[in-house]
């Protein structure tokens, strides 16, 4: 039996049952994926997310032919942070607590390659709702989160959200299109490194999509090392008798 994890927060937020499974054995991935889907359907799951090792094109094709939606890959990066990292504070980059539509637009921009945006099975504005919630929680300082904004929050050059811990995590990261390749991204990363150093966090981490080559090359050029990569697939499962349906719910 495949171990399925019910995603309670996701289920409550999206309004339908969501679960995930992590499959590790390349020799049995296709059979395990089918078994996970069967188990999920029997237990009333609406959306099953499969997290797999980084796989090649042949197996990806087999999974697609078996009815799974290919959401591409995710890569995790990490960078060691020294006690004096980040240099002197940048007067044009500061913490922000005030919501603004321009910041929301940047948050959406940061998710251009997000599976929640690319999978057309999401029909209830899940992507926008999720990223809006992500930004709002960071602006409110929930669980110690912080947002740094470059420039005026009403006309931001870029933003980065940070989640504290033994390793600080970058959440949302975006630079306004007209300000790219002008050093804004590197200055935001310097602010993130100062955030780490001030909290004695020895590592800064970030996840991005493998298909987002520009982001991958940027992080690698800034000294981040790749520590993990995985492939992600979705399976939308039929509604069970008695489950709610209605406008925007995939059939």
The CATH number of the domain holding residue 106 is 3.40.630.30
Q: Please give the pLDDT value at position 1.
A: 84
Answer yes or no: is 249 within a domain.
Answer: no
Helix residue spans in 66-183 (DSSP H): 101-110, 115-118, 126-139
- Count other Cβ atoms within 10 Å, centred on residue 200: 9
Answer yes or no: is 30 within a domain.
Answer: yes
Co-location of 33 and 129 in the same domain: no
Co-location of 110 and 203 in the same domain: yes
Q: How confident is the model at residue 187 (pLDDT cuts 50, 70, 90)?
A: very high
Distance in angstroms (rounded) separating the CA atoms of residues 176 and 102: 10
Q: Please give the pLDDT value at position 243.
A: 55
Mean pLDDT of the chain: 94
Mean pLDDT of the 18-31 span: 95
Co-location of 109 and 172 in the same domain: yes
Mean pLDDT of the 70-96 span: 95
Q: Please give the pLDDT value at position 108.
A: 98
Domain that holds residue 36: 5-74+231-236
Q: Quote the number of domains for the chain.
A: 2
Co-location of 67 and 133 in the same domain: no
Answer yes or no: is 158 within a domain.
Answer: yes
pLDDT tens for 125-165 read 999 999 999 999 999 999 999 999 999 999 999 999 999 99
Q: Please give the pLDDT value at position 99.
A: 96
Half-sphere exposure of 112 (CA within 13 A, CB side): 15
Co-location of 100 and 213 in the same domain: yes
């Amino acid at each position: 039996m495949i171990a399925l994890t019910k995603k309670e927060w996701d289920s409550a937020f999206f309004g339908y049952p969501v679960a995930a499974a992590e499959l590790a054995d390349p020799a049995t991935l296709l059979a395990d994926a089918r078994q996970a889907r069967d188990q999920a359907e029997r237990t009333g799951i609406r959306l099953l997310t499969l997290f797999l090792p980084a796989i090649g094109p042949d197996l990806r094709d087999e999974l697609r032919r078996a009815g799974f939606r290919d959401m591409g890959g995710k890569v995790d990066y990490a960078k060691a942070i020294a006690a004096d990292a980040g240099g002197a504070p940048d007067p044009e980059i500061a913490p922000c607590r005030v919501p603004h539509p321009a910041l929301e637009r940047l948050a959406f921009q940061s998710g251009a390659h997000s599976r929640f945006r690319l999978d057309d099975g999401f029909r209830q504005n899940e992507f926008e709702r999720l990223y809006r919630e992500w930004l709002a929680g960071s602006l409110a300082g929930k669980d110690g989160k912080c947002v740094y904004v470059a420039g005026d929050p009403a006309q931001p050059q870029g933003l980065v959200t940070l989640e504290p811990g033994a390793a600080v995590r970058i959440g949302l990261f975006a630079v306004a299109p007209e300000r790219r390749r002008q050093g804004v991204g590197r200055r935001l990363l310097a602010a993130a490194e100062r955030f780490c150093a001030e909290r004695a966090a020895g590592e800064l981490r970030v996840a991005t999509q493998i298909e987002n080559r520009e982001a991958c090359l940027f992080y690698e050029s800034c000294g981040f090392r790749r520590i993990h990569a995985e492939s992600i697939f979705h399976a939308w499962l039929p509604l069970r008798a008695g489950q709610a349906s209605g406008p925007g719910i995939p059939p």
